[in-house]
């Protein structure tokens, strides 16, 4: 890393990879004020319009593959919680809940609430793609390479898969892309001779984005050390500004506190109809916010490391194809051309990947969305370097070097060619990625509800488990179906101190209420069959609805 006296030149100024400087005569003449203002306005319009067009293209490309209705598991939970501004399982995801509640209102014309919440995931991926276009343009100086990078990100198999279902991870991807863009804009502002307040506002904005991102997913907290390293590398003198440091930390902290207030407010003060845990109590709030439920999920990252790395490389091959081999080279190019950005994203990549390798309580692939983003920005910088070298070679061959640089038309052509090359490797696999991400026929949960709900007697109690509880909650809390039914999930048993499933069944049988059970096939269901006389009335397997007729062994 360079010394503080040369820190302005250490990273490439935005556009310096491909942009030619003005000649001495042009500098001496100076632009006409009105013409210069018009050009500046046009550049700003293009800088906004092209990423927006990419975002619209991403939405148009994947819209037909959206899940059409409610789903099982966490998908169903988020589709139930967000429209009513309830509280979700740890860590509560309050930013996601608030955005989903707002999206449900704004997207009212397009379909039922479950579909609107799913559409929010696609909108988030589109925002991530647009932010990546702007980020890559700043890092490379080439809009065409930025466009290719944004499209490449959005059509990566992992990203596309998560764009068509309700989940907070696409929102996390969007926030990380916006956070990277905000930090790079702040670093750029220091070389653009903006006044100090304008520069400081950009870093404060990044702190607010960090706070919103942390309220959406706790993976954001892993980015704190890399961000600190980046800020110190860009502005070592910031250590002599403790008040400004406190202001930035305060902006992030206040934002986090503000969004997490959703938990106690909707958990107690203004209670929602669907609440996970007891977030209105002191202990209950921290149980949710700190994800105490999953404390034992973090293991030894170095245990069985060769197998973990082998699986990771296989996933990288699935996500990047032949470009996988270029990613390490691209990082080296980034370290050479933009060392501070390499420090930020390289450290974030290592920390995130190590965490993911040691975490075992999730569909872990979703946790690699941000690493995929960082890899694509490295590829963009590498592509810009290749384009620059190609333009010099072509200019020398064609005799079109001006002041030792190729003409703008050659630079533009080289950038366009390299941008196309970035996307070509993924074209043969485009149809299979589209098919894998297509959830338009995923109507299993809705079909199951149409069969299960009519099978329940009036004023019934149904002892369910997580995968089937979530669509049942959606049907009841969002669609207003079967308000007479009491849905008892394993979480409900804990929160209301009802004991275990057999205890719940005996309690409500004694009260004379009709009791039904849906339990995970195997040990959970076998336990009930060994104690109660039950008959199957709807579906089967782990979604089978069993009527409990009374004490006694079920006859198979």
**pLDDT, position 394:** 79
**What angle separates helix 326-337 from helix 369-398, to the nearest 10 degrees?**
70
**What is the average per-residue pLDDT within 339-356?**
95
> Which residues are CB-neighbours of 495 under 8 A, at least 6 positions away?
277, 278
DSSP-derived secondary structure letter, 486: E
Q: Residue 51: what pLDDT?
A: 94
Q: At residue 24, does pLDDT exceed 70?
A: no
Task: Answer yes or no: are the C-beta atoms of 519 and 525 closer than 8 Å.
Answer: yes
The confidence score (pLDDT) of residue 458 equals 96
User: What are the structure tokens assigned to 77, written together?
Assistant: 């939970």
Residue 554's pLDDT band (cuts 50, 70, 90): low
3-class SS string, 99-125: HHHHHHHHCHHHCCHHHHHHHHHHHHH
Q: What are the tens digits of pLDDT across the range 367-416?
A: 999 999 999 999 999 999 999 988 888 777 776 666 667 778 888 888 89
Q: How confident is the model at residue 556 (pLDDT cuts 50, 70, 90)?
A: low
Q: List alpha helices for 217-281, DSSP H.
A: 224-234, 242-260, 262-264
Which residues, including other chains, have CB under 8 Å from residue 166's CB and lie 6 or more apart?
67, 71, 75, 78, 79, 82, 114, 117, 118, 120, 121
Helices (H), 488-538: 490-495, 501-510, 523-529
Closest CA to 176 of 38, 348, 423, 391: 348
**Which residue ranges make up each domain of the chain?**
32-437, 444-551
- pLDDT score for 190: 79
pLDDT by residue (tens digit) across 29-40?
A: 455 677 777 777
pLDDT at 21 over 80: no
Give the pLDDT confidence score for residue 7 in this predicted structure: 37
8 A C-beta contact, residue 488 and residue 515: no
Query: How many other CB atoms are there within 10 angstroms of residue 410's CB atom?
Result: 21
Q: Between residues 165 and 396, which one has the greater pLDDT?
A: 165
Query: pLDDT tens-digit profile of 420-436?
Result: 999 998 888 899 999 99
Question: Is the pLDDT score of 6 beyond 60?
Answer: no
**What pLDDT, on the 0 to 100 scale, is given for residue 99?**
97
């Amino acid at each position: 890393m360079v010394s503080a006296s040369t820190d302005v030149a250490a990273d490439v100024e935005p556009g310096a990879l491909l942009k030619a400087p003005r000649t001495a005569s042009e500098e001496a003449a100076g632009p006409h004020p009105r013409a210069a203002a018009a050009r500046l306005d046009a550049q700003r319009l293009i800088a906004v319009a092209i990423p927006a067009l990419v975002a619209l293209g991403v939405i148009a490309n994947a819209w037909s593959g959206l899940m059409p209705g409610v789903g099982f598991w966490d998908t169903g939970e988020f589709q139930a919680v967000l429209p009513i501004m309830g509280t979700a399982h740890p860590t509560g995801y309050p930013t996601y809940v608030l955005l989903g509640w707002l999206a449900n209102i704004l997207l009212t014309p397009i379909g039922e609430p479950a579909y609107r919440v799913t559409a929010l995931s696609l909108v988030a991926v589109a925002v991530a793609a647009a932010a990546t276009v702007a980020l890559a343009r700043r890092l490379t100086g080439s809009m065409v390479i930025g466009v290719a990078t944004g499209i490449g990100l959005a059509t990566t198999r992992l990203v596309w898969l998560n764009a068509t279902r309700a989940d907070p991870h696409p929102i996390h991807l969007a926030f990380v892309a916006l956070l990277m863009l905000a930090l790079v804009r702040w670093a750029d502002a220091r070389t653009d001779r903006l006044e100090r307040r304008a520069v400081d506002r950009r870093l404060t904005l990044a702190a607010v984005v960090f706070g919103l991102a942390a309220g959406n997913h706790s993976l954001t907290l892993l980015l704190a050390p890399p961000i600190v390293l980046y800020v110190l590398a860009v502005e070592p003198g910031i250590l002599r500004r403790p008040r400004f440091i406190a202001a930035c930390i305060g902006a992030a902290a206040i934002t986090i506190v503000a969004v997490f207030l959703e938990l106690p407010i909707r958990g107690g003060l203004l209670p929602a109809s669907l609440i996970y845990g007891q977030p209105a109590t002191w202990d209950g709030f921290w149980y949710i916010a700190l994800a105490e439920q999953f404390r034992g999920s973090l293991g030894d990252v170095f245990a069985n490391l060769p197998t973990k790395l082998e699986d990771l490389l296989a996933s990288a091959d699935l996500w990047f194809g032949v470009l996988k081999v270029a990613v390490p080279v691209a990082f080296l190019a980034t370290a050479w051309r933009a060392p501070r950005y390499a420090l930020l994203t390289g450290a974030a990549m290592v920390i995130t990947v190590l965490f993911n390798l040691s975490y075992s309580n999730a569909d872990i692939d979703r946790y690699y969305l941000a690493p995929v983003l960082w890899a694509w920005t490295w590829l963009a910088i590498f592509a810009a370097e290749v384009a620059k070298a190609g333009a010099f070679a072509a200019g020398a061959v064609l005799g079109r070097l001006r002041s030792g640089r190729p003409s703008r038309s050659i630079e533009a052509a080289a950038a366009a060619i390299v941008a196309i090359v970035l996307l070509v490797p993924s074209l043969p696999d485009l149809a299979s990625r589209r098919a894998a991400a297509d959830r338009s026929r995923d109507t299993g949960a809705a079909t199951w509800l149409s069969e299960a709900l009519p099978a329940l007697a009036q004023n019934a109690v149904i002892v369910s488990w997580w995968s089937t509880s979530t669509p049942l909650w959606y049907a009841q809390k969002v669609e207003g179906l079967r308000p007479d039914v009491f849905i008892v999930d394993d979480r409900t048993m804990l929160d209301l101190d009802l004991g275990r499933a057999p205890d719940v069944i005996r309690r409500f049988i004694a009260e004379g209420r009709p009791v039904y059970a849906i339990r995970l096939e195997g040990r959970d269901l076998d336990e009930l069959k060994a104690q109660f006389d039950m008959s199957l009335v709807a579906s089967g397997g782990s979604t089978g609805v069993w009527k409990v007729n009374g004490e006694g062994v079920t006859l198979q």
